[in-house]
Amino acid sequence: MKGILSYGILRGLIGQIVGWAAGIGLVTGIRALMGLAYKAEPAWVVGAALGIIGFLIGIGAFRDWFAWAKGEETPDPEEIHEEPGVKRYFGYSLDHKVIGVQYAFLSLFLLVVGGSFALIFRVELVQTGMQWVTLNFFNTLIGMHGMTLIVSILMGISAMSNYAVPLLIGAKDMAFPRLNAFSFWLAVPASLVLVSAIFTGGFDTGWTGYPPLSIRAPMGMQMFFVAVFFAGWSSILGALNLIVTILRMRAPGMKMFRMPIFAWATLATSIIALTATQLIGTSFQMVSFERLFGMSFFDATKGGNPILFQHLFWFYSHPAVYIFVLPGLGIISELLPVFVRKPLFGYKWVAMSSLGIALVGFLVWAHHMFTSGMEEYLRVPFMYSTLLVAVPTGIKFFSWVATMWMGRIRFQVPMLFIIGAIIVFLMGGLSGPPLGTVSTNLHMHDSYFVVGHFHATMFGGFIFPLFAAIYYWYPKVTGRKMNDLLGKIHFYMLTPGFLIMSFGQMQIGLLGMRRRIADYDPAQGFETAHLIITIAGFMVALSVLIFLINLFVSAKRGEVVTENVWQSRSPEWTVLPTPAPMHNYPQPIRVVGDPYDYGLKGARYVEILPQQAGD
């Protein structure tokens, strides 16, 4: 028993169950004292929230802070030497590389869960009529698919930035290692609460949770709200940590414009996450309170307004899509020069375009509301601001293409996914402007076209770059390379599968297929298209399965790598051993050049700082 409990995650789970039960008991007890009967919803909401706190206590995320409160000393993160081995990935660790890998596993776990939801409802959609799920279960699944994958994406970008940013900028760790671990372990119980929504009645609103529907939805809605609230908190704290790390922890000589481009993308993303996430937390909290306490924020008959929710919600949820894609676009810009063997074209323009997207991204939220019935005069200004996003996005595309021009392109597995990312994101990007102009949006809004467009941006801006990043940094984590053949099979199944799926969705959307419907009118003639989309969806799923097999098998059997396997100029490959040691760079490094001077012989990016005598 003692042995099993040394796995932090199990202590956390026990803590969550205890906390959850305590929350239910607390509310029921107070109600009993007031002479009121048991009521499930308030008891479970408080239970879910306390369960998350219980998990954090169980795993020891508060241990050092409690110690300080008692006036005890704790060792500095830099002095802690954690026992190497697989075990530390299952517990509380302060090493940013471990936390990065933990984030990646949580992300992939949620990707599998959320993707499986999609497979279930894709099968249902093959034929008209309801075959194997009920209407309510279908409606729950689409919302769960959406939010599970959104959390998966948030975890995925945290994985990439947590693992890579300190290495890229030559830091020993993140600025606040304890906060970093706290952010991660907050997301784990939150994810469990999210999945619990299925078992507590589900919810029939889709991931957007618009009131008044979300006020009438079953109790699963509340679990969804609690989960998003805490996952959002995790995201805010993670962003804060990354901003401080990037601004304060760079190696000597690394001026802002000598940072690897991925650090710029992470900085832009983190600024959005830090400043916008509160709004989704607030909007969901308001619905939750309307349900629990009868506060009528969104009830028109009591002086509220349902449109208010949509403004609050999209003020986060639109910038959120840039949170999701900017790190992926950063990965494209980061890896492209390595495999093209040529400097990144227009480094400063690419860096500034990330900040440009982040800034403009804050001014466009109401384009989700062109048909919502908000004040009509708002539609045209929001159309202008929305289309402006195309400009910095265009700069990225043109710069990538110019980077590849006259290169010596090497088609290793990460590069395949980079090319796939560019093409798929192009498809997502180009399907955006028709949605951005109001008059065409009147037709396309809430149609399957939006589904196709959104999935193309997420795959091009996140899924493909995530895979590229995993193939690329895998040797740094494990000391082994992932299998090339399986990697290629993964790519050549995923890409056509996805393109067919996404284009099919866009086409039937234009023809009149609504989104979020469990069944469709046979007279519209969409059965063949849905069959093809479902088959393509299964191709995507199968390719991911192959990837996962590769991921686990290569950890034991992959080709051993000790050197700079990609011949990258980045410091984690040039001066750091593989796999990366604890506390990163054993000797301090200094930046002496530009990051992407491929093609310039003799040029160097970093050098090991000579040890000063008498230091």
Partner 1 sequence: MPYHRVLIASANPLFGQGLEKMIQRQWKNPQLEIRRVDSNEAVLNEMQNWSPDLIILDYDDKTISRAEFLQEFVAGDQPMQVMLVSLKSSGAVVVYDRRTLTPAQAEDWLNLPKFSQATSEHPPIQRRSSMKHFVIVGVLIAVFTAVIYFLLSNIPLLPIAASVQAQPIDELFNLHFFMISLLFSLIVVFLGYSIVVFRHKPGEEEDGAYIKGNNPLEIIWTIIPLGIVIYFAYLGSVSLAETRRADPQALEIKVVAGQWFWRFEYPDYGIVSNTMVMPVNKQAHLKLTSLDVIHSFWVPEFRVKQDTLPGENLVRELRVTPTELGEFKVRCAEMCGTSHAYMESPVIVVTQAEFDQWVQDQLAALGADPVARGEVWARNNGCLSCHSVDGSPNVGPTWKGLYGLTHELTDGSVVTVDDEYLLTAIINPNAQVPKGFAPGVMPQIYQDTIPEQQILEIIEYIKSLK
Site for partner 1 in 300-319 (CB under 8 A): 300-301, 305-307
Query: In terms of CB distance, is 116 or 439 closer to partner 1?
Result: 439
Query: In terms of CB distance, is 531 or 542 closer to partner 1?
Result: 531
Residue numbers 531-590 binding partner 1 by CB under 8 A: none
348 binds partner 1 (CB under 8 A): yes
112 binds partner 1 (CB under 8 A): no
296 binds partner 1 (CB under 8 A): no
- Going 560 to 566 to 567 to 573, the CA torsion angle's sign is negative
| Four-CA torsion 441, 442, 443, 449, nearest 10 degrees | 40
The binder of partner 1 chosen from 212, 253, 479, 579 (CB under 8 A): 212
C-alpha separations of 299 from 223, 318, 518 in Å: 22, 24, 27
Instruction: Identify the bridge partners of residue 447 per DSSP, sorted by sequence position.
Output: 514
The binder of partner 1 chosen from 507, 531, 574, 609 (CB under 8 A): 507
Q: In angstroms, how far is CA 114 from the centroid of its own chain?
A: 13
Smallest gap, in angstroms, from Cβ of residue 262 to partner 1?
18
The binder of partner 1 chosen from 103, 233, 345, 472 (CB under 8 A): 345
Angle CA(133)–CA(134)–CA(137) in degrees, nearest 5? 85
Binding mask 165-204 for partner 1 (x = CB under 8 A): ---------------------------------------x
Sequence length of the chain is 615
Pick the closest to residue 286 from 218, 211, 366 (CA basis): 211
- Does residue 431 contact residue 452 with C-beta atoms inside 8 Å? yes
The binder of partner 1 chosen from 39, 216, 248, 604 (CB under 8 A): 216
The binder of partner 1 chosen from 22, 80, 517, 565 (CB under 8 A): 517
208 binds partner 1 (CB under 8 A): yes
Q: In angstroms, how far is CA 152 from the centroid of its own chain?
A: 5
Query: In terms of CB distance, is 368 or 476 closer to partner 1?
Result: 368
**CB neighbours (10 Å) of residue 373?**
10
The binder of partner 1 chosen from 4, 37, 406, 613 (CB under 8 A): 406
Query: In terms of CB distance, is 210 or 459 closer to partner 1?
Result: 210
**CB neighbours (10 Å) of residue 484?**
14
For 606, residues 6+ apart whose C-beta sits below 8 A from its C-beta are 170, 251, 571, 574, 575, 589, 590, 591, 592
- Residue type at 133 in one-letter notation: V
Pick the closest to residue 16 from 61, 58, 46 (CA basis): 58
Smallest gap, in angstroms, from Cβ of residue 500 to partner 1?
14
591 binds partner 1 (CB under 8 A): no
Smallest gap, in angstroms, from Cβ of residue 145 to partner 1?
13
- Residue type at 561 in one-letter notation: V
427 binds partner 1 (CB under 8 A): yes
3-state secondary structure of 487: helix
Angle CA(217)–CA(222)–CA(51) in degrees, nearest 5? 155
Choices 72-80, 284-292, 430-438, 487-495; region in contact with partner 1 by CB under 8 A: 430-438
Choices 34-42, 74-82, 512-520, 530-538; region in contact with partner 1 by CB under 8 A: 512-520
Smallest gap, in angstroms, from Cβ of residue 582 to partner 1?
33
Smallest gap, in angstroms, from Cβ of residue 392 to partner 1?
8
| Four-CA torsion 205, 210, 212, 216, nearest 10 degrees | 30
Residue numbers 255-274 binding partner 1 by CB under 8 A: none
User: How many Å apart are CA 456 and CA 461, to the nearest integer?
Assistant: 8
The binder of partner 1 chosen from 64, 516, 539, 584 (CB under 8 A): 516
User: How many Å apart are CA 330 and CA 351, to the nearest integer?
Assistant: 9
Smallest gap, in angstroms, from Cβ of residue 371 to partner 1?
5
349 binds partner 1 (CB under 8 A): yes
Smallest gap, in angstroms, from Cβ of residue 345 to partner 1?
5
Q: Is the peptide bond before 610 cis (omega within 30 degrees of 0)?
A: no
Choices 26-34, 249-257, 322-330, 347-355; region in contact with partner 1 by CB under 8 A: 347-355
Choices 55-63, 91-99, 103-111, 431-439; region in contact with partner 1 by CB under 8 A: 431-439
Residue numbers 65-104 binding partner 1 by CB under 8 A: none
Smallest gap, in angstroms, from Cβ of residue 75 to partner 1?
45
Q: Classify residue 601 by its DSSP letter.
A: T
| Helical axes 220-248 vs 40-59, angle rounded to 10° | 30
437 binds partner 1 (CB under 8 A): yes
Binding mask 355-394 for partner 1 (x = CB under 8 A): ----------------xxx-----xx--xx--xx-xx--x
Choices 69-77, 260-268, 341-349, 533-541; region in contact with partner 1 by CB under 8 A: 341-349
Query: In terms of CB distance, is 248 or 604 closer to partner 1?
Result: 604
Query: In terms of CB distance, is 136 or 282 closer to partner 1?
Result: 136
123 binds partner 1 (CB under 8 A): no
User: How many Å apart are CA 48 and CA 40, to the nearest integer?
Assistant: 12
Residue numbers 134-153 binding partner 1 by CB under 8 A: 135-136, 139
**CB neighbours (10 Å) of residue 408?**
10
Angle CA(594)–CA(467)–CA(355) in degrees, nearest 5? 45
Q: In angstroms, how far is CA 598 from the centroid of its own chain?
A: 31
